[in-house]
Amino acid sequence: MVSRPYQSEGDVRTLATDLLASTMGLMVYSTQTVWALGEATARTVVGSMLDRIVPTLTEAIVSRMNLTDVVLRNVDLYAVVTAALDELDLTQIVVDRVDVDQIVDRADIDAVVDRVPMLQIADYIIEEIDLPQIIRESTGGIAMDAFTTTRFSAVKSDEVLSKIVGTLMFRRKDQQSESHIESDVPPETPVEAPNADEAPR
Amino acid sequence: MTSFREFREEHDADEGLVLDTVPSAARQFQGERAGFFTRLIAAVIDVVIVGAIIFGVWIAVWLFLLVFNPLVDYGMPRPGYFALGGYFIMWVYWSWGWATSGRSIGQHLMGVRVVDRDGRKPGWKLATVRSLFCVVFQVGILWIIVSPANRSVQDVVLRTSAIHDWSGDFTSGDYSSHARIQTGTAEGKAG
């Protein structure tokens, strides 16, 4: 509202217009103020009332129904959990938050070891490093090497002989004894074995 | 390099734990019947060993006689005696070798083992009979050349087999697990 100093000069009409206008303005202003005031008061009162009523009411409702059952019946838990897991990087969370060392400290390692096939692992390692070959090379001696070579040569000769005989007697392939030593599989010729360090494995 | 998983699967399918001392290149014919040359070389080694024993015995006897009768020259006995003694010692030697360990020294060196029809070490009876058969009828070994199943005449008659066994195992008498002889089919072919 704008107030102007009263100017005595002017006719009655102007005065009346001014008076009417200012009265109207005052009315509008008052109404707005009262409305706002009322609204604020009502909001506060209703708010505080709701604050008191809703928890009590909710508590009363929830206590009267089995929420778990409702959720289980109506919610697709698998979808919820899957969505949650999709959001989370579970591995990272475990890595960040779990002390694996402590878990290992508490774990019964003996029980784990009991379940590990130790003998098979040992056998596997022996097979992979070819321990028998290492032992043969380190302890066999020349005489044993010579006999291993002789054995391989004899087996080879046997195969050649059986092939020749098979051909001469028109034997079918499946009746001939199959070849064991292929040309691309070199027999372990211990003649070269003395320098075992250079021997290819 | 095989992974442990592959190794395990392979051996679970097999017979489990095997600590194999046989060279890897020889494993493919381990347990199969040995061929002609292998067994011929083994036999030659045995004959040489028995020959050495014969001569050793002769020298011992000669020295023994020399001690008591130094003036008499007995000279060399007739070769027939050597042959006879050789056959006899050969018989005893093979019987003893096959019945105790399934292999003579020559067969041990060549990695051959004699097994009966079930793949087991032959008993004294079978070993003695086979040994006598081998001594009397040496040419029986030649049948190996003709036989597709690598069996000598002795093997065919007595249903024995001489298999490749490069392991140094003397302890157990049962080799049926790694004797890959197919008694049923091979016998049919060999006959």
Q: Is B41 on the interface with A (CB under 8 A)?
A: yes
Q: Is the dihedral of CA B46, B49, B54, B55 positive or negative?
A: positive
Contacts of B127 (CB under 8 A, 6+ apart): B94, B95, B96, B97, B98, B99, B114
Which positions in chain A have a beta carbon within 8 angstroms of at least one beta carbon in chain B?
Answer: 117, 119-121, 123-124, 126-128, 130, 132-133, 136, 147-148, 150-152, 154-155, 157-159, 161-162, 165-166, 169, 171, 175-177, 180-181, 185-188
Question: Over the stretch A160-178, which tens digit does the pLDDT of each residue have?
Answer: 998 898 888 877 665 555 4
Question: Over the stretch A96-146, which tens digit does the pLDDT of each residue have?
Answer: 999 989 998 898 888 988 888 888 888 888 888 888 778 877 776 677 778
Question: Over the stretch A35-48, which tens digit does the pLDDT of each residue have?
Answer: 999 999 999 999 99
Residue B178 pLDDT class (50, 70, 90 cuts): low
Q: What is the pLDDT of residue B10?
A: 75
Subunit contact A133:B24, Cβ cutoff 8 A: yes
- Of the candidates A127, A175, A180, which has its C-beta nearest B29's C-beta? A180
- Of the candidates B24, B26, B145, which has its C-beta nearest A130's C-beta? B24
Q: What distance in Å separates the CA atoms of residue B21 and residue A151, rounded to the nearest whole number?
A: 15
Q: What is the mean pLDDT of chain B?
A: 82
Q: What is the pLDDT of residue B89?
A: 94
Q: What is the pLDDT of residue B181?
A: 52
Span of A26-30, A34-38, B33-37 with lowest mean pLDDT:
B33-37
Q: Is B111 on the interface with A (CB under 8 A)?
A: yes
User: Cα B56 to chain center, whole Å?
Assistant: 23
Chain A residue with the nearest C-alpha to that of B8: A120
Subunit contact A123:B37, Cβ cutoff 8 A: no
The answer, yes or no, to whether residue B183 has pLDDT greater than 80, is no
The answer, yes or no, to whether residue B9 has pLDDT greater than 70, is yes
Residue A61 pLDDT class (50, 70, 90 cuts): confident
* Average pLDDT for A60-86: 88
DSSP helix/strand/coil, A107: coil
Residue B136 pLDDT class (50, 70, 90 cuts): very high
Q: What is the pLDDT of residue A157?
A: 92
Chain A residue with the nearest C-alpha to that of B40: A154
- Of the candidates A121, A133, A151, which has its C-beta nearest B110's C-beta? A151
Residue B169 pLDDT class (50, 70, 90 cuts): low
Q: What is the pLDDT of residue B32?
A: 85
Subunit contact B164:A155, Cβ cutoff 8 A: yes
Domain locations in chain A?
Answer: 67-107, 140-201
- According to DSSP, residue A190 is labeled T
B24 vs A contacts (CB less than 8 Å) = 130, 133, 188
Q: What is the pLDDT of residue A195?
A: 43
* Strand spans (E) along chain B: 112-115, 161-164
Contacts of B106 (CB under 8 A, 6+ apart): B41, B42, B43, B44, B45, B46, B49
Subunit contact B35:A159, Cβ cutoff 8 A: yes
The answer, yes or no, to whether residue B18 has pLDDT greater than 60, is no
Subunit contact A132:B7, Cβ cutoff 8 A: no
